[in-house]
Chain A
Amino acid sequence: MNARLLAISIEQETDIILARQRTRSIAALLGFDSQDQTRITTAVSEIVRNALEYGRGGRIEYGIDGVEPLQALTISVEDQGPGIADPEAVLAGRHQSTTGMGVGIIGARRLMDRFELHSKRGTGTKVTMAKVLPRRSQPVTPAGLKRLVAGIDVQEMADPVAEVRRQNREMLTQLDQLTQRQGELNEVNRELQDTNRGVVALYAELEERADHLRRADQLKSRFLSNMSHEFRTPLNSILSLSRLLLSHSDGTLLPEQHKQVQFIRKSAENLMELVNDLLDLAKVEAGKTVVNPRDFVVEDLFSALRGMLRPLLIGDSVLLLFEDATDVPPMNGDEGKVSQILRNFVSNALKFTERGEVRVWAQYDRDADTVTFKVRDTGIGIAAEDHGRIWEEFSQVEHALQRRVKGTGLGLPLSRRLAELLRGSVAVDSEPGQGSVFSLTLPRRFDPMAAERDTREIWALDAARLPVLIVENNPADSFSLERALSRSRYQPIAVRSIAEAEAALEQLSPAAVILDVLLDGEESWPLLLKLRQSDKWGRLPVIVVSTSEEEGKAYGFGADAVFSKPIDPAVLVRALDEHTGVNSVTRVLVIDDEEISRYLVRQLLPRGAFDIREAATAIAGLESAQAEPPDVILLDLNMAPMDGFELLDRLAATPGPPAIVVTSVSIDDRLRERLSRASSVVSKYDLTTDTLVNAIRQAMDGEATRVS
């Protein structure tokens, strides 16, 4: 059995006495006779004193080891001192003590039954000694040990000063542990904070990505809507011309030619249909479709649909039935869009139904105050796994009939988008061979506020640019206005209606407003009037885009400038500069002996935002820069007689505008050092509008911070 009885730390002189007392009481409790008690205590006294004197304190531990009947009291004293250089010499008695009588360790060894000394220079000393328990004493059992320890405690209690000291020491130990715990907590806390920072950074990155995606998506939709417009014009020409040819008004066609032109026409019609669908979809996606809510009656809607869809019926094999809808209460919503969705459903149903019927009906749900339109066919049906896919653009389900009937694959996706726009939803219930039921659920009353709220854009402001509000309902015009401002200091914010414009005004505090007079179904004069009458916006520059006849009226209402379409970007930017009082035209001096390079720079820099002067030699450039300092200088390196390096030095001699080196020379470290005066270096191989504009912006920003 090896068991620990007690441990005492030795820090000061009085601890020697404590150790002596403890030793004596433990020895007594273990049944040693008084002589042995004295022996053990004396040995402990010697060793503990050594530990305190040479080892600057340490620790004494009492224990029991060995098995009965040969159990022994073991006492080990450990210190963290410098250690003993030659323990062998000490044990052999060759050591001369300067303090004691030189007998401490040897004497202690003589007093105990077992004595071990472990010591090395620098690692402290450990003395382990043992005294075999007297034969007549009770063997120490675990239970006995417990009693023993309790006995020591009781004795300790008997000495109040020692007890207080012991408790103090315990408290110190606990405080120590607490401090350590606190340190660990701090560590963990710091780690958590680091992690947290990481998460926040990740989150920001995600947000940025999402923003990119959103913008890309917007761009796509805008591109689609613009491109579709462009497609329509040539297609219309093809259609009209082929119609003209087929009418034989310019001479007859041969029968074969007639057939060919018919094919051309048929193809053009298909293409037109595709483009129209695409345009509708893009419009909805770009949020450019405007909902025109009106009161209407479902019964009237059905009769109109009946008339419209009858031509689609071929032969008698399929019946188109509209059920009575007189019990459905009058609705409020965009009847045209509801009709468009239902037309899509019905024409789809007719396409995939070879025989049977297509049935259309409406149900009113009083609790939810919604109306559900259903179109059921007896056609080929759709497998469950395809139910989700049919609502996606350009997806068509593989089927023999599918290949025969033509479609753009855009009808259902468009229907879904329109339904969402009307705050409603679409659904399908179908099984292959069992026919399909397409349904459209709409609120009975369209809530324009709900729609307004949901379609409102979140504008991301660019801190470096001034927001300019563009109020323009025509996507193409809006796009061209935005393009005109894209490289200027103005950030275009496009809205489509007066309501949106008012919201944007509050939200963004734009620097100026560009206002189209004619919006969808409303004129924008009231907005202009309201602006001019308000205290807050009274001085906000407003540029009106209008027809020339209304110029006088526009000025009358308080417009700062009036333009008619199309608008020259440079003129627009200049007008904005003038009225916002911001000088956004950057004067650039290009110094390059190659005419082609100067031409390139001239072409690459957007005209409205940059005023470009040119110099063909360094000397001419220097003169020009001194005569009329530009905002920034672009210079070439290879010039004669004065080259770019010398020019840079001369320019740097007096405070002047930042200089950007535009060169075809590849820059190594040696050159870079010589070019340290230049604000940046742009390679001629990497010459694009972006790199140039960025370099100029950076140079001027750097200049601004240096000056301030």
Chain B
Amino acid sequence: MDQIPILKIGDCLLVSIQVDMHDRLALQLQDDLTNKIVTSRARGVMIDISALEIVDSFIGRMLNNIAAMSKVLDAVTVVVGMRPAVAITLVELGLALTGVRTALNVDKGLELIRHLIDDEQDPDDRREE
């Protein structure tokens, strides 16, 4: 059984999707990730989709779900490395990914997560964002 590895960097979890995901794998990732957030007390989740050639509505929904769940578990989610073609297609497809924060690459993503975690500590700032 394929499994997508989840790496821990500090209080951040890093998931790099390197394979063409089928739906069950996506659902499993969702489960694994939420569990890992709880056990590792992580504050941020970064999902690297630079290897994904397509993101269809199912994967989109999965990304949205992960973001929503980690938020409930007090963690922020950033999706990084989306290819331009995928981005265009997502928009054309009508998927907004409204609950998901994105960053261009892993560096920028880590930066964003730091920033977000810091912000979280001040709830008022969060509202302004």
A residues with CB within 8 A of B: 13-14, 16-17, 20-21, 24, 34-35, 37-39, 41-42, 45-46, 49, 100-101, 103-104, 106-108, 110-111
Contacts and interface: CB of A to CB of B under 8 A. Distances in A.
Contacts of B64: 101
Contact of A45 (B54, B61, B83, B92): B54
B43 to A, nearest CB: 27
Given A41-B54, A42-B56, A46-B57, A103 B20 contact: no
B72 interface: no
B23 interface: yes
B95 A107 contact: yes
19 contacts: A20-B20, A34-B85, A35-B85, A38-B54, A38-B85, A41-B53, A42-B56, A46-B56, A46-B57, A46-B93, A49-B56, A49-B58, A100-B58, A101-B60, A101-B61, A101-B64, A104-B56, A110-B93, A111-B93
A110 B23 contact: no
B20 A107 contact: no
Contacts of A107: 57, 92-95
A615 B73 CA distance: 113
A61 B64 CA distance: 32
Nearest to B21: A17
Given A14-B22, A101-B57, A101-B61, A111 B95 contact: no
B22 A35 contact: no
B129 to A, nearest CB: 24
B86 interface: yes
Interface string B84-124: 11101100111100000000000000000000000000000
Residue in B21, B57, B94 whose Cβ sees the most chain A Cβ within 10 Å: B57
A41 B54 CA distance: 7
Given A39-B92, A104-B57, 13 more contacts: A13-B22, A17-B20, A20-B53, A24-B53, A24-B54, A35-B84, A38-B86, A39-B89, A42-B89, A45-B54, A46-B56, A46-B93, A111-B93
A contacts with B: majority SS: helix
A399 B63 CA distance: 118
A48 to B, nearest CB: 10
Interface string B42-80: 000000000001111110110010000000000000000
A140 B61 CA distance: 37
A24 B86 CA distance: 13
Contact of A21 (B20, B61, B89): B20
A103 B93 contact: yes
Contacts of A41: 53-54
B127 interface: no
Residue in A13, A38, A100 whose Cβ sees the most chain B Cβ within 10 Å: A38
A20 B21 CA distance: 11
Nearest to A105: B57
A110 B20 contact: no
Contacts of B88: 35, 38-39
A13 B58 CA distance: 13
B89 A38 contact: yes
8 smallest beta-carbon distances between A and B, as pairs: A107-B93, A45-B56, A38-B85, A103-B94, A35-B85, A100-B57, A101-B57, A42-B54
A541 to B, nearest CB: 93
A107 to B, nearest CB: 4
Given A42-B93, A101-B61, A17 B53 contact: no
Contacts of A35: 84-85, 88-89
A111 B89 contact: yes
Nearest to B60: A101
B37 to A, nearest CB: 23
